[in-house]
Amino acid sequence: MLKTGKLVKSTTNNLGIGKIIQVQELSATIEYFGSITHRITKDIPLASLTAINKLSPQTRCYIYLEDQEKWLIGRIEMWDEDSNQYIVN
């Protein structure tokens, strides 16, 4: 089941992996992250979305620290099965 916060890929575009920010009856609003200052939002049919279970090592990631109003940039090192979290450098 696709829900808010899930990472997905669409067969209707070549924008790569995006994050579901809202789910409607037949579509979902997906946010694609190009950079800190460039994000694209698209409504995509649910039938064209595939869930991404795990990101590959060396995938660039951006983490926003709300309390500090600051972005951190890193790369996925690995998925830790014990903690159910990514290890990010």
Q: pLDDT tens digits, residue range 41-87?
A: 999 999 999 999 899 999 999 989 999 999 999 999 999 999 999 99
> Is 49 exposed, middle or buried (CB count within 10 Å of its CB: 0-12, 13-18, 19+)?
buried
CB 38 within 8 A of CB 22: no
Residue 16 has pLDDT above 90, yes or no: yes
Task: Please name the residues in contact with 50: beta carbons below 8 A apart, sequence gap of 6 or more.
Answer: 8, 9, 10, 11
Both tokens assigned to 22:
């809202």
Helix (H) and strand (E) counts in the chain? 0, 8
pTM of the model: 0.84
